[in-house]
Amino acid sequence: MTKPTTLGQSILSMRSRNPHNVAVQFKANDSWKTKNWAEYYSDIETVGCALLSLGIKPGDRVAIMANTRIEWSTSDLGIFGIKAVTVPIYQNNTPEDVEYILNNSEARILLTETRGPLKIFETVKDKCPLIEKIIVFDETCPNPEVITWPRLLEIGKAYLASHPSHFQELCGSLKTEDMATILYTSGTTGRPKGVVMTHLQAISEVSEAFPLCGATEKDTSLSFLPYAHILGRIEHWGHAYIGFTLAFAESLEKIRGNLPEIRPTFLMSVPRIFEKIYAAVFAQIQTQPLKLKVFNWALDVGKQVGEYKMSGQVLPLDLLLKYELARKLVLGKITEAFGGRLRFAISGGAPISKEIALFFHAAGILILEGYGLTETTAAITVNTPFNYRFGSVGRPIGEVKLKIAEDGEILVKSDKVMKEYYKNPEATKEVFTDGWFHTGDIGELLPGGD
């Protein structure tokens, strides 16, 4: 089977995936529900058709401002499927930024949710004249002008009945150079800049980064990062491309409870999540001297084992026996907190402390760091389960070319680098020299290429 070259082809490939495989998991009425790939594709097609019915045309921008949830995922892919462009907005952005992003992108429709984001939009809606329709991911909404999710699906089904092949035709005609999304970066000064990504950038990233880490259709990921953040979005696109199960955490506050319920095989996260778990583990044992002594012994054994793993050496029998006891007494409880099946976790967005990475490694949880920016479609370098070094951000991914400028700045040339800053040719020109993208970050190449 030919590998997809656009996210549209990834969507169409869902129809031929194993009907017994779970595409998505999400919680509704306090219990986990699942959809297989055929059901998931049907929802994506229905949302795409609803947007066509509402007048969205190829190239039009559709904004999404909501927490990470299955409807976000379905909508994003539905937008791609009709050759439109998704504009994600952080659910807690300031009203001023929301107004700017909606007007700068010229979005025609806003998908949101009633809890918080809708209220933020309502404070600036009179200043956003281009927004024609508001859709909420909720089943009910007191505002009669708003289209609820069940109503949107009704609109989509009616359109699909009278135009049965329109979505598939549009989806299949997407080209690699077609714009997929505009992600607005929250600059430290001035207005956010819209990073324009085509399907080329999206596919270049997911087709190389996920296989490099060993992710397959048999994997399960627990998704909780915001989809307005490039790392969260890549997890979502990787799921569409590779075919692994994507489970949606109930919320950031409920991640620790969701981990043992979903039992993910890999995670995409930010350092803060590991820092919180690390702090919670130590808080539990600090006041109990005997437990602390056993804990420190087990951790020391785990670190010794970790050294052997990193150097590729065979464990001595006496250390192996100690490790089995350490796992039984202490370390196994930490791995079970993540569900007991986690092969690796990717940490991005900010550096993670080497101490914390080594702690989890000793406990049997491998945290892999990568490096990238919104402008590089997330990671351009990454450690992998088969080649990692704590304190480094790994090796270049696939066709990525790196060089260090005379002043130490990291320069990149890759299909993963954005097309441009939206409506901002001056800013675009500033960050490119002879095809090399200036990251603005300082780095060094270590011996061995890391």
Summarize pLDDT for 372-423 with one digit per residue, the tens: 999 999 999 999 998 898 888 999 999 999 999 999 999 999 999 999 999 9
| Interatomic CA distance for residues 112 and 135, integer angstroms | 6
Beta bridge partners of 59: none
> Order of strands, edge to edge, in the sheet holding 367-373?
31-36, 22-28, 245-248, 220-223, 266-269, 344-347, 367-373, 378-382, 395-396
Q: Are strands 344-347 and 61-65 parallel, antiparallel or unpaired?
A: unpaired
Looking at per-residue confidence, does 202 or 143 come out higher?
Answer: 202
Structural tokens at position 129: 């004249």
Per-residue pLDDT averaged across 208-234, rounded? 96
Domain with CATH 3.40.50.12780 in the chain: 7-202, 272-442
Torsion 55-56-59-62 (CA) sign: positive
**What is the DSSP secondary structure assignment for residue 127, as one 8-state letter?**
G
Dihedral of the CA atoms 175, 177, 179, 181 (nearest 10)? 100
For 412-439, how does the pLDDT look when each residue is reduced to its tens digit (9 = 90+)? 999 999 999 999 999 999 999 999 999 9
Looking at per-residue confidence, does 285 or 293 come out higher?
Answer: 293
* Class of 272-442 in CATH: alpha beta
Q: Which band of pLDDT confidence, cut at 50, 70 and 90, is reported for residue 449?
A: low
The chain-wide mean pLDDT, for the chain, equals: 94
Per-residue pLDDT averaged across 127-152, rounded? 95
| Interatomic CA distance for residues 49 and 55, integer angstroms | 10
User: Which stretch of 279-283, 344-348, 436-440 has the lowest confidence by average pLDDT?
Assistant: 279-283
Nearest to 233 by CA among 189, 181, 160: 181
126, pLDDT greater than 70: yes
For 316-339, how does the pLDDT look when each residue is reduced to its tens digit (9 = 90+)? 999 999 999 999 999 999 999 999
450, pLDDT greater than 60: no
Q: Which band of pLDDT confidence, cut at 50, 70 and 90, is reported for residue 186?
A: confident
Torsion 389-392-395-397 (CA) sign: positive
Identify the architecture of domain 7-202 in CATH.
Answer: 3-Layer(aba) Sandwich (3.40)
